[in-house]
């Protein structure tokens, strides 16, 4: 069974640009979550989608947005990039149904903003 796939693995963007990251969950998983990992702030929750609906979101500015498609694949978009957006962005998938669902993480997308 294939794991969570994130593309691209590495990105370099310039301040002010926008970027779209992609996540393909494990087959059969309907929940996708996104996290930002930085040395200063650690791992922070961005948002979670289940069956194309956002069920929860973290405390990030509106420049950060996401969506989920009918095949459960998800994208996150960051507009007007800032230097502080440089981070490892991790996607996780889970079954999403029931009280306890284990999250399986992808390798991440390393975004560098210059």
Partner 1 sequence: GNSVTQMEGPVTLSEEAFLTINCTYTATGYPSLFWYVQYPGEGLQLLLKATKADDKGSNKGFEATYRKETTSFHLEKGSVQVSDSAVYFCAPSNDYKLSFGAGTTVTVRA
Binding site for partner 1 (CB under 8 A): 4, 31, 33, 35, 42-45, 48, 50, 55-56, 58, 90, 92, 96, 99-100, 102-108
Rounded to whole angstroms, how far apart are CA atoms 65 and 61?
A: 9
The closest alpha carbon to 88, from 25, 27, 9, belongs to: 9
Nearer to partner 1, 50 or 64 (CB): 50
Instruction: Tell me how far, at minimum, the Cβ of 11 lies from partner 1, in Å.
Output: 16
**CB 22, min distance to partner 1, A:** 15
CA count, 13 A, side-chain hemisphere, 10: 0
Cis preceding linkage at 19, omega within 30: no
Minimum Å gap between C-beta 104 and partner 1 is 7
Length reported for the chain: 114
**Between 1 and 14, whose beta carbon lies closer to partner 1?**
1
Q: Which is nearer to partner 1, 65 or 107 (CB)?
A: 107
């Amino acid at each position: 069974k294939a794991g969570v796939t994130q593309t691209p693995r590495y990105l370099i963007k310039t301040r002010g640009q926008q970027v779209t990251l992609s996540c393909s969950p494990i087959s059969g998983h309907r929940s996708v979550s996104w996290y930002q990992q930085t040395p200063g702030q650690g791992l922070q929750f961005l948002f979670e989608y289940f069956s194309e609906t956002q069920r929860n979101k973290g405390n990030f500015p509106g420049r950060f947005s996401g969506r989920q498609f009918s095949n459960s694949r998800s994208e996150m978009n960051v507009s007007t990039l800032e230097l502080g957006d440089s981070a490892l962005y991790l996607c996780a998938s889970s079954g999403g149904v029931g009280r306890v669902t284990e999250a399986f993480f992808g390798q991440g997308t390393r975004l560098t903003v210059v």
